[in-house]
Structures are given as C-alpha cells and as structure tokens.
Amino acid sequence: GENVEQHPSTLSVQEGDSAVIKCTYSDSASNYFPWYKQELGKRPQLIIDIRSNVGEKKDQRIAVTLNKTAKHFSLHITETQPEDSAVYFCAAKGGSQGNLIFGKGTKLSVKP
Amino acid sequence: GAVVSQHPSWVICKSGTSVKIECRSLDFQATTMFWYRQFPKQSLMLMATSNEGSKATYEQGVEKDKFLINHASLTLSTLTVTSAHPEDSSFYICSAMAGGWDTQYFGPGTRLTVL
C-alpha cells in the first residue's frame, strides 16, 4: 500500500522567512496530493492541493511542487507570519476508495 | 461551501458505556465518509471508510464490533464506540467526500474521554 514520509517533523523560522516541507510517497499510481493545516484542537483544513498532471501550483504565499518521477512533493510558504504556526500534514490519495494516506506532520513555528 | 459538522464536540463517559458521534455534510452529498482517530501530537489514523448504503470498510487492527459505523444517508454517518474503555479516549475526526471529488473535508472533531 501507499506510504508517505514527511520531513522535517519540526520547523522553526523567523517571521518573513520561507518554510519548506517535503514529502515522499511510494505508490506511483497516486494522483492527488493535498496539504492540510491543523491548529491545536481543531480540524485539518485544506490549504492547497495538486494533481499528478500538474508540476506546480501557487496560491498567494503558498505553493506546492510535485516531482512524479522522484515521487516527492513539497509545500513552500513564503513571507511566513505568526499565524502560519500550526501542524501541516501532506497526504497522497491511495486505495480504491479514495483513502488519503497522511504523513506524520510537521510542526511549524514562526517566531515574530 | 463543503462544510462538515460533527456532534458532539466533546464527551465524557463512564467505562462500559457506549457513545455515538455524528458526522454531517451540510451543503453537499457525501457519498463517502471517513473516520479517523488522532492521538496527541500524532497524525491522523484512518479507522474506516463508509459509503452510503453499504457496510463500512475497516482498516487492519480496528475492531468492527467495537467501532460501529453507519452511513444511512448521503449527509450523515455515525460512529458508535461500544463498551468504551479508557484506552478509547482520543480525538475522533470524520471527513466527507462527494462522488467524483478528490478532496476530503473534515469535521471539527470529537474529543472522547472515558473515565
């Protein structure tokens, strides 16, 4: 089955700097890769996603890149702000029922 | 759009009792709903996948007789934790997906504490 590895597990940056989180997946048939942001005690919220027919997608300060050959995808946050502090999960869609396989998460801390 | 609600948001119960958690899609028809469990500072662990009108598919290691899932309509799925014990204490989150979609939208979660 699908396996998703996520790095780093924690990331601390200064406000205004960029943050990059990387994920790798094992199933070459996976075709959908969302990123979720989860604040403490709250629901995961979709922040951006990418499909396998696209190499890069951007939404304001957030971008995701996908390398199908290498089976990895990355989240890029530019001009980080304290409110970006949260746990970020990557996921890959695997299985016949559209199951998402999640990475273990990255705790991002943005210091003012 | 794509709002998912979950009720209750928290529940405290005595060991041996059963607890029902509801997950509703408010503005779309959810052909598939997922139930996850999340321990503190950990990732989301998929427990089961349910399709409207059919039996849920449970992940390996999840007891189907303990975690009863019903997806009776296109907007409602329920998870019943039967004969709850303290080790069942956790954060339970549902998500919903409409037919033809890739994206799952999550409910706000239910924090279960079993005394």
- Segment A92-105 mean pLDDT: 84
Closest partner residue to B44 among A34, A89, A93, by Cβ?
A89
CB contact (8 A) between residue B46 and residue A99: yes
Please work out, in degrees rounded to the nearest 5, the angle formed at the alpha carbon of residue A64 by the alpha carbons of A59 and A69. Answer: 150
- Segment B61-84 mean pLDDT: 94
CB contact (8 A) between residue B104 and residue A43: no
> φ, ψ for residue A53 (rounded to 5)?
-95, 10
Task: State the smallest CA–CA distance between residue B87 and chain A in angstroms.
Answer: 19
Collect all residues of chain B within an 8 Å Cβ-Cβ radius of residue A51: 102
A54 has a pLDDT exceeding 90: no
pLDDT, one tens digit per residue, over A33-53 is 999 999 998 999 999 999 988
A90 C-beta neighbours (distance < 10 Å), count: 29
Q: In terms of Cα–Cα distance, which of A93, A98, A103 is closest to A38? A: A103
